[in-house]
Structure 1
């Protein structure tokens, strides 16, 4: 994969963060297009405001993701899709432990993507009526000065017991983040078991956040 596609996959999480720290409760959305528009607008403003502090302490990004991004991602649903058909051979305790480890691993992954922030902008496609659908796709374009625009699709789900939308996958230039994680971890789960993969994710999540070097 060339550097543009690699960056596009890493940058897709950046449009998901909303500055909700001043709110008493996390804002929820019944319109998936409004959700992506609002969180994208706030994401880059927040990153710009915190830029100097992040240079001094990149671990701030981990806290930012944990407090503000997670409410808008259905981590459990995504984690279960990564487990896939192997789920039948696992226990409830193993699944719960994997979800917790997967969450911390994704926090670390997303925090790392924020180090790539370089004044990008996101344009969200016009909203459409989703009717009674439970799954929706919202397309966006990441505009990075001096580079080709990057197409990103956000996959959202609205469960039967909720009216609110959550993201469960992001597709950058045709590459699904969820599918890539299934490909990366599926074979390991089959060969080594879910408990061992859980331990591996816990280890990866502990790696320090390091600032990305500017692309030449």
Structure 2
């Protein structure tokens, strides 16, 4: 479990740094992100227990590069047609805030992990979904695989992450398992309430 927590801590190193050239290729984006964000986390290592510092790192470097709406709608699933536009907007906001709070909690557990970048591959122009495989390295331990799933917005052509898989555990699928039954059985308003109260795992 501790190794899984450390993996998720390192996720922050895969999802930031706004580089126009890297945005054109998800592999280049992930590699550029890994290098630059790890530098930022290390620079603030002694201050990560300060929530203000942790939130700043996440808000500026992580959240802008996650396709929160796409992920949130995946969690709502087949219940989407039974929701209003206002409910979907409120759910997406609560989902984003819950996700941010989860990252704040794990960010303080960062030690000395490094990310081994992925080989850069050419991506066809019409490709919209890509899985980027990287390895998390920590001295004295076996490298662990992290798969970052990215989606290209057809309107903006910008790649953003919508799921991370560590030790064969998908963060998105975990949220689907937790929240989708609540939406189906108790309604989306109850799910929003639970997300806002941080009662999910």
State how far apart, in whole Å, the 1-side matches of 2:46 and 2:10 are.
Answer: 22
Q: Secondary structure at the match of 1:59?
A: helix
For 1:179, the equivalent position in structure 2 comes to 173
Q: Which has the higher contact order (CA 8 A, sep 6+)?
A: 1
| Aligned residue-pair number | 196
- Unmatched segments (≥5 aa) in structure 1: 21-25, 206-216
TM-score by length of 1: 0.85
**1:27 equivalent in alignment to 2:51:** no
Determine the structure 2 residue equivalent to 1:15.
13
Aligned twin of 2:58: 65
CA RMSD of aligned residues (A): 1.7
Gap runs ≥5 in structure 2: none
* Other structure's SS at 2:194 match: helix
Alignment of 1:52-131 (within 5 A): 52-55=46-49, 57-131=50-124
Please say if residues 124 and 138 of structure 1, whose CA atoms lie closer than 8 Å, have aligned partners that are also in contact.
no
Matched, 1:50 2:48: no
Q: 1:7 to 1:51 in 2, by over 3 A?
A: closer
- Give, in whole Å, the separation in 1 of the partners of 2:19 and 2:91: 27
Specify the alignment match of 1:155 in structure 2: 149
Cα deviation, 1:154-180, whole Å, max 9, x if unaligned, reads 100112212221101111121111000
